[in-house]
Each structure stands twice: as C-alpha cells, then as structure tokens.
Amino acid sequence: MPPPERIPSRRMSGDGIRERTRTDLDLLARGELTVRGQVREASNAVLYCSVALEGEEAACVYKPVAGERPLWDFPDGTLAQREVAAFEVSEATGWGLVPPTVLRDGPYGEGMVQLWVEADPEAALLALVEDEEAGEGWKAVGPAQVAEDRTALLVHADTPQLRRLAVLDAVINNGDRKGGHLLPAPDGRLYGIDHGVSFHVDDKLRTLLWGWAGEELTAEAVTVLGSLDGQLAPGTPLAERLTGLLTGAEVAALRERVARLRRTGRHPVPSGEWPAIPWPPV
C-alpha cells in the first residue's frame, strides 16, 4: 500500500471547539471512507483515509479491529472500543485532549475512526539534557541511556496542556503514553492519540509524563475530577456509552481511579509493580 498522501486537516480551536467536534463526529460516523495509505511504523493496522459527506472532506485514521495484534493482557478485538472510550472520557473533562473518534464499519470491517491531526514539527515537548540544564519549563522523567558512555536526563515540557493529559492518562489507566503519541497542533492545542491499551482493571499506567508525580493536583483538575465523578455515576449518559465499549469491571475500575485521585489530591506515582515508562519511549 502506498504511503499516505496529505489531505488538509481540520483545525479545532477557539470558541467553536464543541460545535466543530460535533460536526466532525457526524462526518466521521456517516461519511464515505477511502483508504489513502498505511502508517507503517504502527504495531497494529493503521490506515490513513479521507472521509467525505455532503461536500465536506477531512483526513482521518482508521484502525480496523481485524488488524489488531493480540495482546497477552487485553482481550482480543477490544482496542478500537478503548480508543473511543478515551475520547468519551476526554470530552467529559471538557479538555478536548483526544481528537474526535468514533466506532463504525469501514472497508475492512468495524474499527476506530479518528480525525487526523497534523502535528507542529517545531513544537518541542521532550528533550534529553544534562542534569544541570533541566530547569524552568521542563520536568524530569528520568535518566535515558543515549550512548554506551553517557546517560542524559529525559525531560518533558511543563505546560498546562501536558499536565491535563497526565491527569487524563491516570484516569483512563493509559499503558502506553509515548512521545510519539503527543500531537502539538499548530494552533497551540495538544492532542493525545493511541489509547488502545487503556482502561485495564489493574494498574498499567506507563507514561513519559511523570514529571508531576506526587505533586498536588491543580485546582482545575480537582474541579474537573469532581464533575467527571458525577458523570460516571451508574445510569448517566456517559456511563451508558462506556458500558457499550468496556466491561462492567473496567467501568467500575474507572470510577475508582477517579475517586482515588479525588481522595489523594495528588498525581499518582509509579507503583513499582509495572514498568513506569513505555518502551520504546518515543
């Protein structure tokens, strides 16, 4: 299959984010999907597509369930649903950190379809620095071996958007927050992608965003978690949608993670029972 050809992506910014998201969801759910290429570096089948409906067209990613590689710790054929669940939870926070995502039929069967976001190549979110250089504007993740004779410090940017994403990852129990899953858009917004290994009932949090580990949550995050707690109550619209995507035990574990974050009032720390940083990190 040829490499992807670029189709102009939609930009979601300003006061019209919510309305734009609703319009994009309709386009993604009902539009005609045309496969344009394949993202070859992905471990599962990831197809770059265009989606068109009533004169509107956008670029998107289509991940068919049939192309998912089996994992030892997640049920087969559930990664697409988890990606959609991550979008649902992100929308419930009001932070809009996950691009519009739907579950629908496509050329290769049911799968996840997500709006394509073109990342800003000039935006720097991760860096390798000497210890003394990790100062204002950066948060340390940990040492990284960059050569046989040298170990540098891996750091990530200290921004409100990344901190919100760290909270979202703790909520959804993201097991694979790599550097390549961070998309800083040219309009200044930040998106996270690839949430297929999320929502496990056991602690699986693996991320490059450990810079706030153990620190107090921001007042904004505390407010958002309180709202999310109410939205996840049994019988609510969000809970009903998630029940169609996750198991009952996984939804219950999601509620408990939100409750635990509210009780502690702090960002989680690595458990020590699971590798804290995904590999490869980028």
CA atoms within 13 A on the CB side of 207: 33
Residue 121: predicted pLDDT: 87
Average pLDDT taken over every residue of the chain? 89
| Most confidently modeled range among 3-7, 93-97, 116-120, 186-190 | 93-97
Confidence of residue 24 (pLDDT cuts 50, 70, 90): very high
Residue 186: predicted pLDDT: 87
Q: What is the mean pLDDT of residues 202-227?
A: 96
Residue 16: predicted pLDDT: 43
Please give, one letter per residue, the 3-state secondary structure of the chain: CCCCCCCCCCCCCHHHHHHHHHHHHHHHHHCEEEEEEECCCCCCCCEEEEEEECCEEEEEEEEEHHHCCCCCCCCCCCHHHHHHHHHHHHHHHCCCCCCCEEEEEECCEEEEEEECCCCCCCCCCEEEECHHHCCCCEEEEEEEEEECCEEEEEEEECCHHHHHHHHHHHHHCCCCECHHHEEECCCCCEEECCCCCCCCCCCCCCECCCCCCCCECCHHHHHHHHHHHHHCCCCCHHHHHHHCCCCHHHHHHHHHHHHHHHHHCECCCCCCCCCCCCCCCC
As a whole-number percent, the residues of the chain with pLDDT over 70 amount to 92
Confidence of residue 149 (pLDDT cuts 50, 70, 90): low
How far is residue 34's CA from residue 32's CA, in Å, rounded to a whole number?
Answer: 7
pLDDT at 188 over 60: yes
**pTM of this prediction?**
0.91
Q: What is the pLDDT of residues 156-170, one digit of tens each?
A: 999 999 999 999 999
Residue 148: predicted pLDDT: 67
Q: What is the mean pLDDT of residues 27-48?
A: 90
Output the CA torsion sign for 123, 48, 192, 274: negative
Residue 18: predicted pLDDT: 53
pLDDT at 154 over 70: yes
Residue 144: predicted pLDDT: 79
pLDDT at 2 over 60: no
